Amino acid sequence: MIMIAVAFLLAMILCLLFGVPYIDFLKKKMIGQYVKDCAPENHAKKQGTPTTGGVFIIFAIIIASIIALLLAQRFDTEAIIILITLLFYTFAGFQDDYLKIKGHANDGLSARGKLLRQIAIALLPTMYVVISGKGGCEFSILSHTFDLKWFYPFLAVFIITGASNAYNLTDGLDGLAASTGVFSFAACSIIALFSGHPQVAIVAAAVAGALFGFLRYNKPKAQVFMGDTGSLAIGGLLGTLAVMGKFEFLLIFLGGVFVMETLSVIIQVFSFKTTGKRVFKMAPVHHHFELCGWSEKKVVAVFAFVSALLSLTALVLFYLTNRGIL
């Protein structure tokens, strides 16, 4: 439990310390965000805001995680797989951001290219779980456990890739991805700790701390955006932790806001292609509420509150399952 607190506090402090010099560097190099023409009108003012802030978030997470894991004597193969997966997703996200910056546009990697990278990276933690025998191909829904055999690797890759994309879609307003992510990863850390996965718990706590520190620079009006460097990596890490911690089902609640954002896009696209009509004024759904007249701060506050409630729901379900009530 002490190492959980160490990971959280150290990651938060490191993120706060890394933030100022990195943002200054981005400003000097004029590395800024390019806003899509189809974005809400009030987003035009975000043009040029420094991006790729995910770089110092990930550095804070990795350094804090390694220190806490070493102190807890838990720096083993499982921990290394988690951190390598995070690094690979970070490289993929940075490549996407780099192409956008280089091309002075909002078009980075192609959708296919990005998806192929995400799937390839997701294979690493998936194969580790299957081969190591730590839970193997078992999938639990509350107190019911199923051996999915050959189907499990496909499900695990889908979960990790889906989480990466879902968190990426959520990163559309100042402070939205970071604030909702704090609650998701904090709950993830608690669940992992009490389910016998200390490595997962420590890394999750480090992410929660880093995101909390990042809010200092990302809250409205944001001084920096995490970019795909941060959002693809952190989303992929959330899915990875759920798979390696064997609480995949609870990810529906832990990442409930991210699931909601993704579903809004799927519903919007399906409706428009089949009926020619849009269900939402704009998708992902956080833009819908913006166009309904909600201020950016209100959308972020409400979504963060929903994330907190859903994360609490995940904790309650976990507790009731462990007590044999469910």
CA distances 299 to 165, 187, 225, 231, Å, are: 20, 22, 17, 19
Average pLDDT over residues 154-163: 97
How far apart are alpha carbons 180 and 257 in whole angstroms? 7
pTM of the model: 0.94
pLDDT digits (tens, 9 = 90+) for 73-122: 999 999 999 999 999 999 999 999 988 888 766 677 888 999 999 999 99
* pLDDT above 90 for 237: yes
What is d(CA 300, CA 296) in angstroms, rounded to the nearest whole number? 6
The per-residue pLDDT for 42 is 63
Do 227 and 52 form a contact (C-beta atoms < 8 A)?
yes
Interval 19-44: pLDDT, tens: 999 999 988 887 776 666 555 656 55
The stretches of 143-255 forming alpha helices (DSSP H) are 151-170, 176-194, 198-218, 227-244, 251-254
Greatest mean pLDDT range, 17-26, 81-90, 133-142, 218-227: 81-90
pLDDT at residue number 36: 62
Using left for φ > 0, alpha for ψ between -120 and 50, and beta otherwise, residue 30 falls in: left
Rounded Cα distance between 187 and 133, Å, is 25
Of the candidates 10, 34, 14, 12, the one whose C-alpha atom is nearest the C-alpha of residue 227 is 34
* Predicted confidence band of residue 242 (pLDDT cuts 50, 70, 90): very high
pLDDT given for residue 268 in this prediction: 96
Kindly write down the DSSP assignment for every residue of 40-89, as one continuous string: -GGGGGGTT-B--THHHHHHHHHHHHHHHHHHTT--SHHHHHHHHHHHHH
One-letter identity of residue 123: L
